[in-house]
Structure 1
Amino acid sequence: MDAGSKIVDSAFQPAGRDSQEVLAQAEQAVFRIAEHGRRGRQDYVALRDAMREAFTVLQARYENQSDVTGVPTGYTEFDLITAGLQPSDLLILAARPAMGKTSLALNIAEYATLKTRQACVVFSMEMSAPQLAFRLISSIGRINQQRLRTGQLEDEDWSRVNHAIRMLSEAKMFIDDTPALSPDVLRSKARRLKREHDLGLIVIDYLQLMQVPGNKENRATEISEISRSLKALAKELNVPVIALSQLNRGLETRTDKRPVMADLRESGAIEQDADLIVFIYRDDYYNQDSQDKGLAEIIIGKHRNGPTGTVKLRFFGEYTRFDNLAHDSVGRME
């Protein structure tokens, strides 16, 4: 009754909010009612109940006998450090332009949906759905994306294209390419997908392209609100959220251009809210004579519930794809 009254009041007194914002808040109220119905009416949980739930989870992990307890990324050393992407975690994936942020996020989503049958949504505010589809075809089919872009395919490419399309057609992956989403609207869309498809992973490309209606003066405050909302979304839906993020240009002036926490644009709130902060660094992008040609360092700069470290992956720019190295080329855990 109380929720219904609030929904009606907000509809007649929107207080400057547009119809999408009002609808998103109404949907949130309804979603909370459904969640409370499943968990009981209290917002609090007795410690004994939390302990019982924790023991059940621990027992399931013991019986599973796997190093990966969350959503696997397909990257062996990364999964060993993180145990996979954990429910309710916010992962910030940050890098300078052209390092491969979108490629890595798509590769993870691709693995999750094709190998483990997780439902996944990609909120792409920078690239269109067809552009992402071409990237996925290039990645899975190992087809040079320039040939896909120009249509100048070789005979053997067509079988690879058909194979990739067949695989992707079975994937439970959804793409929303609405530009400049607000936190409320994004959460509304994610709730609907969770309810209808049992969503297991959310990817957002990228955080700085989101907007908070009415907040145009202080960008740092706006980013702080967006960051908090994404962590709240991960917790509310109990799924991992990967949010891509830009880095400040300042690192370009340093001798060592490996990213650090201070390089995150509007970094304070992002650093605080994130459970995992992961950077991408490719030395051959900056140094033509690099000894690490074709290699990428995946730097885990923050890990709230585990170790940090660096994992090396092979990067195939022509396929927009990251792959594991040979087994003897292991990462570094700290």
Structure 2
Amino acid sequence: MERHEQIEKSVLGSMLTENYLIVDGAVKQDFFLSHIHKNIFGCMQALLAKGRPVDFVTLLTMMEPAALGGANYLAELTHFANPTKFDRYVDMMCEAWKNRVKNRILIQAKEEDWEIGMIQQAFEELEKEGNAGIETNISMDLMKMGERPYEEVQHTPGVPTGLNDLDKLLDGFQPAELIIIAARPSMGKTDTLNHFALHAGLAGYKPIIFSLEMSRTSMIDRFIAITGGYNRLRMRNPYTHFTEKQKSNWLPTLGRLSEANIHIDDRAGLTVSQMRAAARRIMHTEPKLKPILFIDYLQIIRGDTPSHNRTEVVGQISSELKQIAKEFNCPVVCLSQLNRSVETRDNKRPVMSDLRDSGNIEQDADVIGFLYRDDYYDKETDRPGLLEIQIAKHRNGPTGTATVGYVKETGILHNIDWTRERMA
């Protein structure tokens, strides 16, 4: 009982801290066991319906303090707030509520001598009620499609990658898809992620980056280098190494980068649950902008439960990332390391079996792309400055390779004019 009370306090405290959770959480008043908590949640809903802020002061205007546990009780609820575990706690409350209702059904069935069929029907109705708001029947969807053959298709591409050949393959990053970009170290993974994030932001989307390895300051410097075309070595001391032209272009570069509306969370050792909570909070600051999530990188995401089997943990993480993509209906682009077997082959181009701690990555991902640079392995190559993005898996479209230009000094990826290349 005490544990359940703590869970209810955490859910209410999280709602007080982040008011959008009152609606987002799909919580019902019946989920609460405590009568005081039922009253508090009911007052929260009433305040939100009136467009008023929800805090312990406004709650006290809705009902007698004693019915809400008292002013001190309300004020202390925020101490239990834990938005990261909010979804898990709501699920636990829902399951506990279902079990209470099932027990009442069984008691009533025994007293009234119900048939087995009646008990089963009552349990089925309970499950439907617990999943209220989730539409499963496709009849309405089919009705809306009645005129589809007679209407011109309004094509809506996904989030642009800023690379023409890649957009031809993927049609942009699609909503609800998990995209894995994998490569060996120093191949250009983070620069590729930054390129995608910058172009998504400038196209009007909201890039949310979880940089688990690199600091926020380092990431910002990389974005400035890409946006302004600055050599990253010179950026270590711009006062000494910048030309006057580069210095005069500094403020316009910062202004353009600001337009991309990029968000960076550089906390180390995050779990998927923590990323979900952070992303949801950021999304609610500007709900009109469609989000796209970027994660650097998969193998250093911390599992929710400790385990010595890293393959199982990574498999669970990839599954949870796919769930986030579906839940938020946005693309989730996650970097991944490859194992060392690439280095032992004559042909260094990656294949699926090179995915490190692969687990369910290949199964969960909608798109898997491998990065490869010839000039990383062969300094005398006749293909310097080229980056191959090989789409090895594409659940809803073609596979293939997009070859783009890559300037390592600045981190810039760019399209190649192949006509001009052939003439050179």
TM-score computed with the length of structure 2 as normaliser: 0.67
The structure 2 residue matched to 1:23, chosen from 76, 83, 100, is 83
The structure with the greater share of residues assigned to strand is 1
Structure-2 residue corresponding to 1:156: 245
What is the rounded CA distance, in whole Å, between the counterparts of 1:20 and 1:297 in structure 2?
A: 49
Is the 8 Å Cα contact of residues 283 and 292 (structure 1) preserved in structure 2?
Answer: yes
Letter in structure 1 aligned against 2:230: I
What is the rounded CA distance, in whole Å, between the counterparts of 1:190 and 1:174 in structure 2?
A: 9
Q: Please state whether the residue corresponding to 2:165 is helix, strand or coil.
A: helix
What is the rounded CA distance, in whole Å, between the counterparts of 2:160 and 2:10 in structure 1?
A: 41
Letter in structure 2 aligned against 1:229: E
Unaligned runs of 5+ in 1: 12-18, 32-39
Q: How far did 1:268 drift?
A: 3.3
What is the rounded CA distance, in whole Å, between the counterparts of 1:75 and 1:53 in structure 2?
A: 35
Q: How far did 1:120 drift?
A: 1.1
Q: How far did 1:51 drift?
A: 3.5
Q: How far did 1:100 drift?
A: 0.6
2:232 matches 1:145 = yes
Does the C-alpha gap of structure 1 residues 20 and 217 become closer, same or farther in structure 2, counting only changes over 3 Å? farther
Seq. identity, %: 37
Does the C-alpha gap of structure 1 residues 29 and 213 become closer, same or farther in structure 2, counting only changes over 3 Å? closer
Does the C-alpha gap of structure 1 residues 191 and 286 become closer, same or farther in structure 2, counting only changes over 3 Å? same
Structure-2 residue corresponding to 1:111: 199
Q: How far did 1:329 drift?
A: 8.2
Bigger Cα Rg: 2
What is the rounded CA distance, in whole Å, between the counterparts of 1:327 and 1:283 in structure 2?
A: 18
2:162 matches 1:74 = yes
What is the rounded CA distance, in whole Å, between the counterparts of 2:199 and 2:266 in structure 1?
A: 21
Structure with more contact order per residue of length (Cα contacts < 8 Å, sep ≥ 6): 1
Runs of at least 4 residues of structure 1 off by over 4 A? 19-22, 27-31, 52-61
What is the rounded CA distance, in whole Å, between the counterparts of 1:20 and 1:128 in structure 2?
A: 29
Structure-2 residue corresponding to 1:216: 307
Letter in structure 2 aligned against 1:274: A
Does the C-alpha gap of structure 1 residues 169 and 290 become closer, same or farther in structure 2, counting only changes over 3 Å? same
Q: How far did 1:217 drift?
A: 1.1
2:263 matches 1:174 = yes
Deviations 1:240-279 (A, max 9, x none): 0000000001100100000111000012311100000001
Q: How far did 1:8 drift?
A: 1.5
Letter in structure 2 aligned against 1:119: K
What is the rounded CA distance, in whole Å, between the counterparts of 2:372 and 2:223 in structure 1?
A: 22
The structure 1 residue matched to 2:341, chosen from 228, 250, 264, is 250
Letter in structure 1 aligned against 2:278: K
Unaligned runs of 5+ in 2: 12-78, 92-130
What is the rounded CA distance, in whole Å, between the counterparts of 1:126 and 1:253 in structure 2?
A: 26
Structure-2 residue corresponding to 1:123: 210
Is the 8 Å Cα contact of residues 281 and 297 (structure 1) preserved in structure 2?
Answer: yes
What is the rounded CA distance, in whole Å, between the counterparts of 1:59 and 1:9 in structure 2?
A: 54
Deviations 1:110-145 (A, max 9, x none): 01111x111111000111111111111111111101
Letter in structure 2 aligned against 1:149: R
Is the 8 Å Cα contact of residues 312 and 359 (structure 2) preserved in structure 1?
Answer: no
2:293 matches 1:202 = yes
Q: How far did 1:55 drift?
A: 7.7
The structure 2 residue matched to 1:235, chosen from 322, 326, 336, is 326
Letter in structure 1 aligned against 2:8: V
Letter in structure 2 aligned against 1:23: P
TM-score computed with the length of structure 1 as normaliser: 0.84
Q: How far did 1:182 drift?
A: 0.6
Q: Please state whether the residue corresponding to 2:375 is helix, strand or coil.
A: helix
Q: How far did 1:77 drift?
A: 1.1
Is the 8 Å Cα contact of residues 178 and 367 (structure 2) preserved in structure 1?
Answer: yes
Is the 8 Å Cα contact of residues 20 and 185 (structure 1) preserved in structure 2?
Answer: no
What is the rounded CA distance, in whole Å, between the counterparts of 1:218 and 1:61 in structure 2?
A: 52
Is the 8 Å Cα contact of residues 21 and 184 (structure 1) preserved in structure 2?
Answer: no
Structure-1 residue corresponding to 2:124: none
Structure-1 residue corresponding to 2:173: 85
Counting matched residue pairs gives: 309
Q: Please state whether the residue corresponding to 2:249 is helix, strand or coil.
A: helix
Q: How far did 1:172 drift?
A: 1.5
CA RMSD of aligned residues (A): 2.9
Q: How far did 1:90 drift?
A: 0.3
Q: Please state whether the residue corresponding to 2:136 is helix, strand or coil.
A: coil
Equivalent residues in 2 for 1:271-290 (5 A)? 271-290=362-381
2:279 matches 1:190 = yes
Structure-1 residue corresponding to 2:409: 318
